[in-house]
Structure 1
């Protein structure tokens, strides 16, 4: 059936269900959604269950949009006239993709009004669907610039979404039924995550990252199965760490024109980290893999999904994201292939324990035949201490160093570990477990923290309550101070005052941490504390192994005299015990498990242990292997 004929058929079914008095003027596929255009969006809204009924019967994601959306500038004035001034509106973002206006306000309840009356008045006045969120306690320049850019390219995005929508909802032409996964990176190693999932109808790339500490650490993107890149139906990102998303913009440089799916938080964090990645690479080598123009292309082609939203991304594939508990917006990607043919999940990095920031990873799925799961700490001896024990060890290290007049360097990923360590240090000072000293934040840490407060729905309920109900935001504590210049770094290094420095990069692969190491490494009063995984080939791993001289550029070396300490337990990865518990709690239990994202020994050990204990077929794949699932 032609797409036009299918749309006519869908419109006829919708017309038959819509009550008299509501006119549907047009239906159109836009990205993964079926958009219903009408002059009566308010009447649609009054029919509370109508959209749910249509979505269930048509098996599509339904969006209702007015035929004519009020001009954003005029609409903004009308919103401000309708909403009482004491609501404290701080921003209005009109999203033409969804027909929604995001209203940021200091008092969301005032914008909503009693029983939602003010929201209904807004809809009547402007036609846009209002969505209200609390003003983030820390403003994010990344979020602001992302919204401005998406507003600027709204017409191009509309055309793109219509093109993609028709591609997603094309007819299935093949009579064959099979599913294959090709490993393009991240197998028996940590980093450069990339997997190609193929059916007779579609091709989907899951993640596209770089390998830390390796200049040639790209996934195997030259294999014939993936070419031409524009034959891909979709790219799906599990989370924003660079070993999973750094090279997504590279795809646009070499011909990809399709969508990239992620959670909203992952989109914003990945853009921030990709731009920072370009700066770091440019400072270390003249060979940058892509430019900021390709990052903009990625952003223009991004489609965001919330946890639990079942979405068509190809004619025979539905995607659902579930919480992975690893970093802000991190997701387990669950794919439903064919009409009940097969269900497969890719965990990305995940944490099956509650942390200060997030709840534990999801282990319950509607159906599940195969899982590709990380094995970073999959070795039989890879046990992490409890978070409480880890924090006590951190406090002990801080006390020891401060008492002898030293400074503490904590290299940490800007996203995830930095915020966990910040929360632990803030509480330690508040409860007088450690002295009140300055905690300097360098690199992208402050901006990443701002994005955390923009998306409070991803944070665990305890932290949300602390920030938004109790009015005590630990991220804004007086002890934290941002560092944004090399001269300020020099002042911190030269100062005689003890302090804590949390800085990027987490594995000492360039970035501000190298300046601190150069200035502080020779003094044995100081301390370097590792709080996250150090991959093979990185400067961090070399220091952890006991190297006393670290090359800095071609001529200089850094002599390591400061004390080195590793504080396990802050990682966003599950340890061996949690990985095994996760498999035990998977419901339904899969038929096959593939252990990835771990060094060779860890991946093989975990696969072997899962098979022995649970009698599940397991594999520790190598790169460039293809597995037929069904």
Structure 2
């Protein structure tokens, strides 16, 4: 079946390519059809040729030159330096003869690509090498550097892996007899998101996270719908937050050897957060369920997918990711099963409207009979403060605390909310609404911010323009200072001049926030500000609900009994989740509204009330499933 399919692709290419083009070989690498050619200049000279072919073939298409069609590395290097403008900021030029690719890293990749791709095509035409362009992050990121270097080192193994995945994907058309969604977590609760999408031929695992504040509550991977893990065909990760990604490496510990489909920034953030997950567990004396080698295995098996690209992930399943507006690289996942047999959308975590950081969620799916929908803020009263009002409240709170010579500490997720807050604070200081005081970034926040700057194309339109074209990167404002020392540096900050501290963890479940509560607790001039969701069972939720006597783990291994005398404020409006109205709007404005909705990722009250609201307003079949239930969708 595979050979016949390859033959069909070759026949179609011969009909659609210019007469001057020569195809020497076709291969499948993951979802890509790889075309080897002895005439790479033909593809390089026509800026629309590859796009037309990909559209016609309905395949992701990669073109690679044969060895005899390429100039030598020294000749190509000289040509590249001659063609590219000096102000592109070329950092590295790396050749990969086994694939005929040259990777050009630049501070300004747009100048390497050129208007309409003109410069990139000229390099390809004159050298014969296929050009891949990557951006040098404006802020140095250890994570981005390590991930890129690791994947380069594993390039040979990854190619073998991709060929194996490609063989599986293109093993022949399969007509599904049914479609099912099984719940392995995340139902009537927030956290441990995990689902299995099954057809008669394929099983896809969607997310595999932990549950904040509930050690040991993990997805039900032992369920028959998931076992054996070695037989899962693909994994799709909607975004990198640990309640969706933390347990993915455990799949490789127990024999899974297949692909993980995600966006490129989600890949990098996943590695960062999973390694931190292991580090926190070690510091707290817990034994994590996997080690760092399994994190590397997960990274090695990732296949990045861009928003909007239709990608084959199994003979009978195509995947399309759309921006979810939640965090960097977050996605809603659309699965097209069979030849129009059924369509399932997993919303992931969504934020429907634009924020300073991201464009709002994109729900433009051509078909969507079944929707698995997050319901975090699905209760009747879950209406968040308007963002402008939330920003004013935050600025007023900070201003009052600074006026009283106090320190503001904000527990925040390292990914997403911290960067949103940085933009608000930088703008308020720039306009004079706030005095310019140090803003200290503790935990992973600085590194997560650097990853954001490496992928400006995933940020909101105006912010992206500021970073790319106006040379005005707000994340580089001088008031932002990274805490890279230990307790002595933190104690000096706590006893010093008024300041703002953004600290992980966002739900007060671990990390340096414990230290800040310990040292700032006894001064009423200081203020603790909650800006995000505090899950049931977390210390953040207990403090938010009025608890003032708390027990905190110390960095030296002991515990402190602390009475919180500092002010505690709750500023809604900064959550990465849509409120009740935003969730309703997400469904209301879908171009093809689903027939049924499974309401998940919310406590029992939220899923129940949101499910009822969808039924009342739209008349669709709605459910609030429990964990370990299976729904036949067709």
Q: Same fold (TM over 0.5)?
A: yes
**Alpha-carbon distance between aligned partners in 1 of 2:577 and 2:99, rounded to the nearest angstrom:** 34
State the 1:471 CA deviation: 2.5
2:252 equivalent to 1:248 = no
How far is the alpha carbon of 1:568 from its aligned partner? 0.3
Q: What does residue range 101-500 of structure 1 map to in structure 2 within 5 Å?
A: 101-108=102-109, 110-112=111-113, 118-132=119-133, 135-172=136-173, 177-500=177-500
- Flag the 1:53–1:329 CA change in 2: closer, same or farther, 3 A: same
| Shift in CA distance, 86/550, structure 1 to aligned 2, threshold 3 Å | same
Distance 1:74 1:214, change over 3 A: farther
Q: Which residue is equivalent to 1:22?
A: 21
Structure 1: gaps (5+ residues) = none
> Alpha carbons of 1:587 and 1:110: their partners in 2 closer, same or farther (altered >3 Å)?
closer
Q: Is the 8 A contact 1:190 1:598 kept in 2?
A: yes
Assess if the C-alpha contact under 8 Å between 1:97 and 1:158 holds in 2: no
- Which residue of structure 2 aligns with residue 528 of structure 1? 528
Of 517-526 and 150-159, the range deviating more from structure 2 = 517-526
- Say if 2:595 is the partner of 1:594: no
Larger mean Cα displacement after TM superposition, 144-153 or 470-479: 470-479
CA distances 1:294-322 after superposition (whole Å, capped 9, x unpaired): 11101111000000000000110000001
2 CA distance for matches of 1:88 and 1:558?
A: 52
Structural RMSD (CA)? 2.1
Q: Which runs of 5+ in 2 are unaligned?
A: none
Q: Deviations over 1:148-179 (max 9, x none)?
A: 11110111001000000000111246x66100
In structure 1, the residue matched to 2:548 is 548
The change in CA–CA distance for 1:94 and 1:335 in structure 2 (over 3 A counts) is farther
Shift of 1:588: 0.9
Across the two proteins, how many residue pairs are aligned to each other? 628
In structure 1, the partner of 2:4 is: 5
Query: How many angstroms apart in 2 are the aligned matches of 1:58 and 1:496?
Result: 64
1:20/1:225 Cα in 2 relative to 1: closer, same or farther (>3 Å)? same
Q: Is the 8 A contact 1:94 1:151 kept in 2?
A: no
Inter-partner Cα distance in structure 2 for 1:507 and 1:327: 16
**Distance in 2 (alpha carbons) for counterparts of 1:187 and 1:413:** 22
Distance of aligned partners of 1:200 and 1:16 in 2 relative to their CA distance in 1, 3 Å threshold: same
Q: CA deviation at 1:125?
A: 4.4
SS at match of 1:608: helix
The 1:578/1:275 distance shift into structure 2, 3 A limit, reads: same
User: SS in structure 1 opposite 2:210?
Assistant: coil
CA distance in structure 2 between the aligned counterparts of 1:573 and 1:494, rounded to whole angstroms: 31
Structure 2 Cα separation of the partners of residues 326 and 445 of structure 1: 17
Within 2, Cα distance between the matches of 1:21 and 1:49? 16
Cα deviation, 1:6-40, whole Å, max 9, x if unaligned, reads 32332233234333232211111110011111111
Alpha-carbon separation, structure 1, partners of 2:78 and 2:294? 35
Greater CA drift, 343-352 or 279-288:
279-288
Alignment TM-score, normalising by the size of structure 2: 0.95
Residue from 563, 568, 571 that aligns with 1:564: 568
Deviations for 1:183-224, whole angstroms, at most 9, x for unmatched residues? 000111000000000000100000011101111121111112
Q: Is the 8 A contact 1:172 1:315 kept in 2?
A: yes
State the partner residue of 1:38. 37
> Does the CA contact (< 8 Å) of 1:551 and 1:557 recur in 2?
yes
> How many Å apart are 1:493 and its aligned residue?
4.3
Q: 1:51 to 1:207 in 2, by over 3 A?
A: same
Moved more, 60-69 or 599-608: 60-69
Q: Are the structure 2 counterparts of residues 440 and 399 from structure 1 closer, same or farther at C-alpha, using a change threshold of 3 Å?
A: same
Question: 11-20 vs 346-355, which deviates more?
Answer: 11-20
Shift of residue 587, structure 1, vs aligned partner: 1.3
Asked if 1:603 corresponds to 2:603, the answer is: no
Q: Distance in 2 between matches of 1:16 and 1:74?
A: 34
Query: 1:629 and 2:633 equivalent?
Result: yes
Distance 1:587 1:100 in 2: 40
Deviations 1:243-302 (A, max 9, x none): 111111111011100000000011111111111111011111231111111111011110
Q: How far 1:236 moved relative to its partner?
A: 0.2
The whole-number CA distance in structure 1 between the counterparts of 2:378 and 2:94 is 44
